[in-house]
Amino acid sequence: MSAETHHSVISGLAGEILEHTGVKASHCYQCGKCSAGCPLSEEMEYPPSYIMRMLQTDDPVMEEKILRSFTIWVCLTCEMCYSRCPMSIDIPKMMDYLREKSLKEGKANPRAKHIIAFHKSFLDSIRTTGRLYEIGLLVDYKARTFKVMQDMILAPKMLVRGKLNIFPELIKGRAGVSSIFSRSNKKNKKII
Amino acid sequence: MTLGLYPGCSLKGSSREYTESVLAVAQACGIELVEIEDWNCCGATAAHNLNKELSLALPARILSLAEKQGMNEIVVPCAACYSRLTVTKYEIAEHPELNETITKANGLEYTGSVGILNIIQMLDKYVTPNLEGRIIKPFEHKVACYYGCLLVRPHEILKFDREEDPQSMDELMLKAGATPIDWAFKTECCGAGLSVSRTSSVGRLSGEILKDAADRGAEAIIVACPMCQSNLDMRREAINSYLGEKIDIPVLYATQVLGLALGLERKALGLQRHFVPVNI
């Protein structure tokens, strides 16, 4: 029996991941190389190989734990797990799917709020100007997180070294870029 | 010799010295780099973390613009942008049905005809073959070549260098007169996208990288990514506080080292812009 037929019935979250990303959680045989190589695993409640096992259980309780985990947000998509996986399972691609789903369903882990705030501030900057405006990003991030004092020492040092633009660079195709955002937001219930 | 250039956002702001050194080296070697007109941000980590369609449409717009402006090949010095652009090109080629969605979103035609080079590939292809006799100030220092994540991973898509012990930057440094060292953190992650939202993680990850380079006697760390450079350079305070010791090894772009070896002015390479002073 081939691996394909052996794992032919895949339902639940693992099935959903397979359908949308082509990533087969069922192929994981728990060697643990992903968790051993993951630079962030010590900051995760479930290292990558745990997530793979939890998906294989097809248990809604486990799936809920994954979507509400801090793991999926602290994952940096550094791609180390994928490069070392003997079954070539694209774990980072799966993490992208899980993050998007978690956010859409309002299940994002509260500990990840600063990480998500940063991503949102980043995308807001692009939506408005077409390019990243670093000062705008920091101001927006501070407004979202109330971390007002963070990096206040860094900014003047960057300015002196010519590393910060006072004004944003505005591209001509701003309307085009913002329409990319509105299109994808329509499909995603306005998550960003 | 003319090539398209996608600088990306960091190279216009916090990593200005990278642009300066790329342009200076290119000019010294007779390569004209033409910036893609009206380029946008590639979406970086934020887009692919939150929204797949956005993470493909933004880079596709850049590639479409390059096509429209008649470019056959572009160089993308930022490793993170290089990764996003290459992954997008790969995804659309593998799943042609995506093209329709993306073309609609962007209102621009996309055929996937533009070749994408990272900085090392560009130098290997167009600069190093003509270096004979041009290295007038060999960079005679022990260097730790730090590739980071996105220059080499995922190999299935990028097909650039080895994932565990890449060699391309080491070979380039040899040609610039430097002595690349063997070390264990060539492709470990610096913390990249968590720089602002979780600086403590960056302190730990970048700290381990710097510590290994220092223990093995590196006099400089050489990078090809603005995220790696700013984490290792600008976040040195967080790193030193994690390590409980002060490490003052500077972090240079490969193009800065090559520029120095070609005898270019330090200021033209932006060496004065570093947080950790470059005293070598």
**Nearest C-alpha of chain B: how many angstroms from A56?**
23
Task: Judge whether B213 and B145 are in contact, CB under 8 Å.
Answer: no
Of B104, B105, B192, the CB nearest to A76: B192
Question: Burial, B99: exposed, middle or buried (Cβ in 10 Å; 0-12, 13-18, 19+)?
Answer: middle
Domain assignment present for A123:
yes
pLDDT attached to residue B173: 98
Which phi and psi angles does B145 have, rounded to 5°? Answer: -80, 120
Nearest CB partner across the interface for A39, out of B47, B188, B196: B188
**Which pLDDT belongs to residue A191?**
59
Is A139's Cβ below 8 Å from some Cβ in B? Answer: no
pLDDT in tens, chain B (280 residues): 899 999 999 999 899 999 999 999 999 999 999 999 999 999 998 888 888 889 999 999 999 999 999 999 999 999 999 999 999 999 999 999 999 988 888 889 999 999 999 999 999 999 999 898 999 999 999 999 999 999 999 999 999 999 999 999 999 999 999 999 999 999 999 998 888 889 899 999 999 999 999 999 999 999 999 999 999 999 999 999 999 999 999 999 999 999 999 999 999 999 999 999 999 8
Picking from B120, B152, B177, the residue at the C-terminal end of a domain is B120
Same domain, A81 and A126: no
Sheet of B220-223, strand order: B179-180, B142-145, B220-223, B251-253
- When scoring A89, A125, A132, A164 by the number of chain B Cβ atoms within 10 A, the one with the most, hence best to mutate, is A132
Q: Looking at the domain assignment, is residue A192 inside a domain?
A: no
Radius of gyration of chain B (CA): 18
Boundaries of domain holding B91: 2-120
Residues B146 and B244 in one domain: yes
| Min distance A34 CA to chain B CA atoms (Å) | 13
* One domain for residues B100 and B184: no
Whether residues A13 and A96 share a domain: the answer is yes
Question: Can you list the residues of chain A whose pLDDT is less than 70?
Answer: 1-9, 187-192
**Count: domains in chain A:** 2
Q: Are residues B182 and B106 in the same domain?
A: no
Query: What's the total number of domains in chain B?
Result: 2
- In the stretch 24-53 of chain A, residues with CB closer than 8 A to chain B read 39-40, 43
Q: From the CA atom positions of chain A, what is the Rg in Å?
A: 20
Number of A–B residue contacts, CB under 8 Å: 168
Residue B50 lies in a domain: yes
Global pTM reads: 0.93
B152, B241: one domain:
yes
pLDDT at A1: 44
Kindly list the residues from chain A whose CB atom is less than 8 angstroms away from the CB atom of residue B47.
123
Answer whether B54 sits within 8 Å of A123, measured CB to CB: yes
Tell me, what's the pLDDT at A8? Answer: 58
**B115 and B142 co-located in one domain:** no
The domain in which residue A84 lies consists of 3-108
According to the model, what pLDDT value does residue A2 have?
Answer: 47
CATH code assigned at A68: 1.10.1060.10
Question: Does any domain span residue A142?
Answer: yes
Q: What is the pLDDT of residue A187?
A: 65
DSSP string, B9-40: SGGGTTTHHHHHHHHHHHHHTT-EEEEPTT--
Among A77, A113, A171, the residue to mutate for chain B (most B Cβ within 10 A): A77
Q: Is residue B249 a part of any domain in this protein? A: yes
User: A16 and chain B: CB distance < 8 Å anywhere?
Assistant: no
Chain B hits for A143, CB-CB cut-off 8 Å, are: none
Regarding whether A149 and A87 lie in a shared domain, the answer is: no
CATH number for position B86: 1.20.1050.140
Per-residue pLDDT at B121: 98
Residue A163, φ and ψ in degrees, nearest 5: -100, 0
